[in-house]
Amino acid sequence: MDTHGNFGQMYVAGNATVQALTTTSVKCDDWDGHLSTPAGGATADSGTGDKITVNEPGYYRATLTACLLGINGSTDTVDIRKNGTASAGVIDGTAVDQVFLTNSLTHVVSTHAIVHCNKGDDLSVWLTGSGSHNITVTDAVFTVERIG
Amino acid sequence: MRIFGQLYTDGNSTPQSGVTTAVKCTQWEHGYPTRDQWGVTADETTNNRLTINHSGRYRIEVAGEMSASALSDPVSVIVYKNGAALTRATAKVTVTANGDYFTFAILAFDECVHGDYFEVYIASQASSNLLLENGTFSVTCVGPREDR
Alpha-carbon gap, residue B81 to B139, rounded angstroms: 12
- Residue A148 in contact with partner chain B when CB distance is under 8 A: yes
The fold adopted by the segment(s) A7-146 is: Jelly Rolls (2.60.120)
List CB contacts of B109: < 8 A, sequence separation 6 or more: B57, B58, B59, B60, B142
The pLDDT tens digits of the residues spanning B65-108 come to 999 998 888 999 999 999 999 989 999 998 877 777 889 999 99
What DSSP string runs through B19-65? Answer: E-S-EE-----EEESSSSTTBEEEESSSS-EEEE-S-EEEEEEEEEE
Name the residue in chain A with its Cα closest to that of B106: A110
User: At residue A1, does pLDDT exceed 60?
Assistant: no
The fold adopted by the segment(s) B4-143 is: Jelly Rolls (2.60.120)
Cβ distance of B65 and A110 shorter than 8 Å = no
Domains of chain A, by residue range, sit at 7-146
3-state secondary structure of A55: coil
Q: How confident is the model at residue B146 (pLDDT cuts 50, 70, 90)?
A: low
Question: What percent of chain B stands above pLDDT 70?
Answer: 94
Question: What percent of chain A stands above pLDDT 70?
Answer: 97
The pLDDT tens digits of the residues spanning A68-82 come to 999 888 889 999 999
Q: What is the ipTM of this complex?
A: 0.85
Q: What is the 3-state secondary structure (H, E, C) of B81-134?
A: ECCEEEEEEEEEEEECCCCCEEEEEEEEEEEECCCCEEEEEEEECCCEEEEEEE
| Chain B residues whose beta carbon lies within 8 Å of the beta carbon of residue A114 | 4, 6, 32, 136, 138, 140
User: At residue B147, does pLDDT exceed 60?
Assistant: no
Q: How far is CA B121 from the centre of its chain?
A: 7
Region A41-61: what's the mean pLDDT?
Answer: 93
Q: How confident is the model at residue B133 (pLDDT cuts 50, 70, 90)?
A: very high
By residue count, chain A amounts to 148
Nearest by CB to residue B136, choosing from A4, A93, A97, is A93
Is B74 within 8 Å of B93 (Cβ atoms)?
yes
Mutation site for A-interface testing, chosen from B1, B2, B101, B107 by largest number of A Cβ within 10 Å: B2
With CA atoms as reference, report the closest residue to B81 among B113, B45, B103, B46.
B113
pTM of the entire predicted model: 0.90
Window 29-88 of B, Cβ < 8 Å to A: 30, 32-33, 38, 61, 63-65
